[in-house]
Amino acid sequence: MKKDIEIPIAKDVYVAIVHEWNDEFLSKDWNSYIINDRDSQIDMVLIVSKGFDGDRKTSMMRHAIGAVEAKSFAKIELVQEEVLVLNNEFFVTYYADNKIYEKRFLFEKNSVNERNLTEISLIEKPGVLAK
């Protein structure tokens, strides 16, 4: 019954928004990344992202990343500066250890900015980790 249903807890998988140089447009952009800090690969990574704040909201974006190797990362999307004034949610689903994991990551409105940058270890660039 309900007590027999196991809901696995997602650990060592993160979402970060990184501030990095774009050689093509000669500007600094905000890009979101999925980070796999596990000792094993994660598969079938699906991410749904959206921005919201009261009545204001963005379109829902869906991303199929596929596999992310152990101790590595993959780019999700460019995050436009205008969207950073909203709450930004990334709902991540992946397959590992013969189980399906899911976790919601949230960047609260105005939390992604130059003042809150820290070094993101696996990416080795400044960014902000989601809660």
Find the mean pLDDT for residues 111-127: 94
**Is 126 part of a structural domain of the chain?**
no
**Is 129 part of a structural domain of the chain?**
no
Q: Is the pLDDT of residue 131 over 90?
A: no
**Is 106 part of a structural domain of the chain?**
yes
- The residue segments making up the domain with residue 15 are 7-111
CATH of the domain at 91: 2.60.40.10
**Is 123 part of a structural domain of the chain?**
no
pLDDT in tens, 17-52: 999 988 887 889 999 999 999 999 999 999 999 999
pLDDT score, position 9: 87
**Is 67 part of a structural domain of the chain?**
yes
pLDDT score, position 1: 63
What gap in Å lies between CA 58 and CA 39, rounded to an integer? Answer: 35
Number of Cα atoms under 13 Å in the Cβ half of residue 31 = 18
pLDDT score, position 25: 75
Count of the separate structural domains present in the chain = 1
**Is 24 part of a structural domain of the chain?**
yes
